[in-house]
């Protein structure tokens, strides 16, 4: 009986020591290296179910980004603002269509993930032709696929660069985002409900991630901490042995 209790005590003690020595908080790379360096007054309301869909959007954008050297070369578009690129693309497309590849808006003129209009689509196809990229018709851009998603993720850069070349727009994040929404000549340099909405989604995403990581850290710490009952059990057992 004494031997059994001793074995239990040693097992508990070894687990506790190993846990304290090797336990590390589950700080994800995303939270450790990315956090927005801006503030925004506008807060977009997003329901819990929508957050699940947004997380799916981030994962899809991440897959496309990791497989695309064109996008990787332009990571600074988001990273200079403390944003993981996949999160930035997802927030932008979530603002546009709730990340719905079949979405139609603006009385039938806006199609797809990024709600593109025919004139802008023509401009994007011209640029894509020079690179040998796949081109889409206005009807064909509707649909859920990673190639369509890739089209919009690349087009954000193509279109904002086009606006800068034509109109000398400042390269602030809000100006770039507003250009996609309002056109090259109509993209506001000021914070708007559109650009503010995108930035709000990004901020809320990182706030939620930070809170989740803190909960995981606390849970991990508690898992490695002996309860008062366990501590008393060990003390009593060792006293009896001695």
Using one digit for the tens of pLDDT, what is the confidence trace for 94-115?
999 999 999 999 999 999 999 9
- Do 129 and 218 fall into the same domain? yes
Q: Where are the alpha helices (DSSP H) in 67-184?
A: 69-72, 76-79, 85-97, 118-131, 146-167, 173-182
Structural domains in the chain (count): 2
Same structural domain for residues 16 and 108?
Answer: no
Q: Are residues 86 and 195 in the same domain?
A: yes
Q: What span, in angstroms and rounded, lies between the C-alpha atoms of 184 and 162?
A: 8
Q: What does the mean pLDDT of the chain come to?
A: 84
Among 204, 202, 205, 210, CA closest to 25: 210
Report yes or no: 160 and 127 within 8 Å, Cβ to Cβ: no
Task: Read off the tokens for 192.
Answer: 């708007």
Say if 31 falls within a structural domain: no
Exposure of 68 by Cβ count < 10 A (0-12 exposed, 13-18 middle, 19+ buried)?
middle
Return the number of other C-beta atoms located less than 10 Å from residue 47's C-beta: 8
* pLDDT score of 231: 58
pLDDT, mean of residues 129-140: 94
Q: Helices 85-97 and 146-167: crossing angle, nearest 10°? A: 90
Within 10 angstroms of residue 72's Cβ, the number of other Cβ atoms is 11
Question: Among 132-136, 153-157, 229-233, whose mean pLDDT is lowest?
Answer: 229-233
CATH of the domain at 116: 1.10.530
Query: What per-residue confidence (pLDDT) applies to 42?
Result: 82
- Does an H or E element contain 111, and which? strand 110-111
Pair 149, 60: CB distance under 8 Å: yes
Q: Are the CB atoms for 112 and 138 separated by under 8 Å?
A: no
Q: Is residue 185 part of a domain?
A: yes
* Least trusted range by pLDDT, from 14-23, 151-160, 190-199: 14-23
**pLDDT of 10 strictly over 80:** no
Identify the domain containing residue 5 by its residue range.
1-23+225-242
Residues 86 and 187 in one domain: yes
Same domain, 53 and 99: yes
Domain co-membership, 217 together with 236: no
Same-domain pairing of 203 and 232: no
Whether residues 240 and 152 fall in one domain: no
Q: Do residues 11 and 101 share a domain?
A: no
Residue 151 inside a domain? The answer is: yes
Same domain, 8 and 42: no
Residues 208 and 143 in one domain: yes
Kindly report, residue by residue over 24-71, the tens digit of the pLDDT. 555 444 444 789 988 888 888 888 899 999 999 999 999 999 999 999
Q: Which pTM value belongs to this model?
A: 0.78
Is 191:106 a contact under the CB 8 Å cutoff?
A: no
pLDDT at 167 over 80: no
What was the pLDDT predicted at 183? 83
Q: Does pLDDT of 190 surpass 90?
A: no
In terms of domains, do 109 and 7 share one? no
């Amino acid at each position: 009986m004494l031997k059994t209790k001793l074995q239990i005590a040693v097992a508990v003690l070894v687990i506790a020591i190993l846990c304290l020595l090797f336990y590390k908080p589950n700080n994800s790379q995303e939270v450790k290296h990315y956090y927005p360096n801006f503030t925004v007054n506008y807060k977009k309301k997003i329901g819990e179910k929508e957050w699940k869909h947004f997380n799916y959007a981030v994962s899809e954008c991440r897959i496309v980004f990791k497989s695309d050297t064109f996008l990787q070369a332009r990571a600074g578009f988001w990273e200079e603002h403390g944003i993981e690129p996949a999160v930035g693309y997802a927030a932008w497309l979530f603002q546009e269509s709730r990340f719905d590849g079949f979405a139609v808006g603006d009385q039938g003129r806006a199609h797809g993930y990024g709600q593109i209009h025919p004139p802008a689509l023509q401009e994007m196809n011209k640029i894509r032709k020079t690179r040998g990229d796949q081109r889409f018709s206005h009807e064909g851009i509707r649909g859920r696929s990673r190639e369509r998603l890739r089209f919009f993720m690349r087009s954000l850069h193509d279109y904002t660069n086009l606006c800068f070349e034509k109109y000398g727009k400042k390269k602030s994040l809000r100006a770039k985002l507003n250009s996609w929404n309002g056109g090259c000549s109509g993209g506001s340099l000021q914070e708007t409900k559109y650009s503010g909405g995108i930035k709000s989604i990004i901020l809320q995403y990182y706030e939620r991630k930070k809170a989740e990581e803190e909960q995981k850290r606390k849970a991990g710490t508690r898992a490695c901490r002996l309860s008062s009952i366990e501590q008393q059990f060990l003390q009593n057992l060792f006293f009896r042995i001695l």
